[in-house]
Structure 1
Amino acid sequence: MSTVRQLETPGLNLYEQDFFAWTMAQAAALRHNRPEGVDWENAAEELESMGKRDRRELESRLRGLLMHLMKWVWQPEKRGASWEATIVEQRKEILKIFIQSPSLKGHAEQVLTEEWRDARRLASIETGLPLSEFPDACPWDTNRQVLADWWPE
């Protein structure tokens, strides 16, 4: 593969010049068990970055789910298919994250307090209700309620 040869050229920093070509070269070097073709430092950073990206996606989806659950409870007169679809979709996507990365299940519980605070602030803005209308802490169990097929009434 030409990108592998380019990577082996002294002084050429393929990682900075063409990220896609660099990823293909790295994959080829690993598949062919060619450690001399692996850009170890950048590969390690990219792998860490992938894990962090998944963690951020989980946090974002959890925040969105909490916000819509709050709106569902505190504005029942405005419930609609859109809110319901968002709640179902967020739960489905969180489940996909857990299937792909089971170790992130514990992370959801760890960040629930922080995500609740952010979701609470966003729910206040979206609903027009004062922040004080929403509890300071999440009143629901993460696994049995928030992430399950449960609907608050």
Structure 2
Amino acid sequence: MSELNTYEQDFYQWTIEQAKAINERNWNSLDRENLKEEIEALGRSEYNAVVSLLVKEIEHLLKIDYVPIPDCKNKWTSEVIAFKKGIKRKISPSMKPKLELEFKEIYTDAKEIVEAEYTISLPEECPYNLNQLLS
């Protein structure tokens, strides 16, 4: 079975074969095109995971600061802590410039979710800065 067929028919087996080829320095056996695509997809996936956690963190901070449900504040605070821990585990230094570029959109996503959930109006500009959210 060729690499391409293995890639299409049995992704798990393909990963084993590619790892073995790298380990054995068998460069001619590498499925370069699919490896490139998978590595790029892995990077996107990691970045998207950080963005998702960041949106959730902002959502919960907005709930704490703008939704008048005192009984929920402790739960929301504990969730903010969990999201921060998740971000800390997943973030890499090279992600920060892209997060800075997309921060307004990230905030808008979180804002729209909370506004829809609680039928409230929130600030147009994010009341939190990115460094504060990432620390």
> 1:67 touches 1:123 (CA, 8 Å); kept in 2?
yes
Q: Which residue pairs with 2:125 in the alignment?
A: 137
Paired residue secondary structure (2:62):
helix
RMSD: 1.6
Amino acid at match of 1:34: N
Q: Which residue pairs with 2:64 in the alignment?
A: 72
Q: Which residue pairs with 2:17 in the alignment?
A: 25
Alpha-carbon distance in structure 1 between the residues aligned to 2:5 and 2:64: 52
Give the TM-score taking structure 2 as reference length: 0.90
Alignment length, in residue pairs? Answer: 134
Higher relative contact order (CA 8 A, sep 6+): 2
Q: 2:101 aligns with which of 100, 110, 113?
A: 110
How far residue 7 of structure 1 moved from its aligned partner, in angstroms, is 4.1
How far residue 76 of structure 1 moved from its aligned partner, in angstroms, is 4.3
Q: 1:84 aligns with which of 67, 77, 90?
A: 77
Q: Which residue pairs with 2:87 in the alignment?
A: 94
Question: Are residues 1:146 and 2:121 paired?
Answer: no
> 1:113 touches 1:138 (CA, 8 Å); kept in 2?
yes
Structure with greater Cα Rg:
1
Amino acid at match of 1:15: Y
* Unaligned 5+ runs, structure 1: 1-5, 149-153
> 1:63 touches 1:118 (CA, 8 Å); kept in 2?
yes
Question: Are residues 1:16 and 2:3 paired?
Answer: no
Deviations 1:114-134 (CA, angstroms, capped at 9, x unpaired): 0111111001122232xxx21
Question: Are residues 1:121 and 2:130 paired?
Answer: no
Alpha-carbon distance in structure 2 between the residues aligned to 1:76 and 1:107: 33
* Unaligned 5+ runs, structure 2: none
Any runs of at least 4 consecutive aligned residues in structure 1 with deviations exceeding 4 A, and if so which? none
Alpha-carbon distance in structure 1 between the residues aligned to 2:2 and 2:15: 11
> 1:70 touches 1:123 (CA, 8 Å); kept in 2?
yes
Over the matched positions of the two proteins, sequence identity in percent amounts to: 33
